[in-house]
Amino acid sequence: MWVYLDGAFVDEDKALVSVKDHSFLYGDGCFEGIGVFSGRVIHLGEHVDRFYRSARMLRIPVPVQPAELTRLIVEAAHRNGMGGSTGTGYLRPILSRGAGPLGVSWSGRIEKPTLAIIPQSGERKIAYGSDIPVLTTVISRYAKPDPASLEPRIKSNNYLNSVLAFLDAQDRGADAAILRDQRGFVCEAHGMNVMAVVGERVVSPPEGVALAGITRANVLRTANELGIAWAEASLTPYDLMCADEVFLTSSLEGVSAVSAIDGQALPGPVPGAMTRRLRDAYVKRALSGGVPVRESEGAGHR
The DSSP string of the chain is -EEEETTEEEEGGG----TTBHHHHH--EEE--EEEETTEETTHHHHHHHHHHHHHHHT---SS-HHHHHHHHHHHHHHTT--STT--EEEEEEEE--B--SSGGGGGG----EEEEEEE-SSS--TTSSPPPEEEEEEEEEEPPPTTTS-TTS-BS--HHHHHHHHHHHHTT-SEEEEE-TTS-EEEESSSEEEEEETTEEEE--GGGS---HHHHHHHHHHHHHT-EEEE----HHHHHTSSEEEEEETTTEEEEEEEETTEEPSSSSS-HHHHHHHHHHHHHHHHTPEE-PPPSSTT--
Q: How many degrees, rounded to 5, is the angle at CA 289 between CA 287 and CA 293?
A: 75
Does this model's pTM top 0.85?
yes
Architecture of the domain delimited by 2-120: 2-Layer Sandwich (3.30)
Question: Please, are residues 27 and 159 in contact by the beta-carbon 8 Å criterion?
Answer: yes
pLDDT of residue 279: 97
Residue 192, CA distances (Å) to 120, 187, 246 in order: 19, 10, 12
pLDDT of residue 302: 40
68 Cβ contact partners less than 8 Å away, ≥ 6 residues apart = none
CA dihedral 110, 107, 147, 241 (to 10 degrees): 80
pLDDT by position in tens, the chain (length 302):
999 999 999 999 999 999 999 999 999 999 999 999 999 999 999 999 999 999 999 999 999 999 999 999 999 999 999 999 889 999 999 999 999 999 999 999 999 999 999 999 876 678 888 799 999 999 999 999 888 888 889 999 999 999 999 999 999 999 999 999 999 999 999 999 999 999 999 999 998 888 899 999 999 999 999 999 999 999 999 999 999 999 999 999 899 999 999 999 998 899 999 999 999 999 999 999 999 999 866 544 44
pLDDT of residue 299: 46
**pLDDT tens string 143-152:** 998 888 888 8
Domain ranges within the chain, ordered by starting residue: 2-120, 134-288
CATH homologous superfamily of 134-288: D-amino Acid Aminotransferase, subunit A, domain 2 (3.20.10.10)
Distance CA 99, CA 207 (A): 33
pLDDT of residue 124: 65
Q: Do 134-288 and 2-120 fall under one CATH topology?
A: no
pLDDT of residue 123: 64
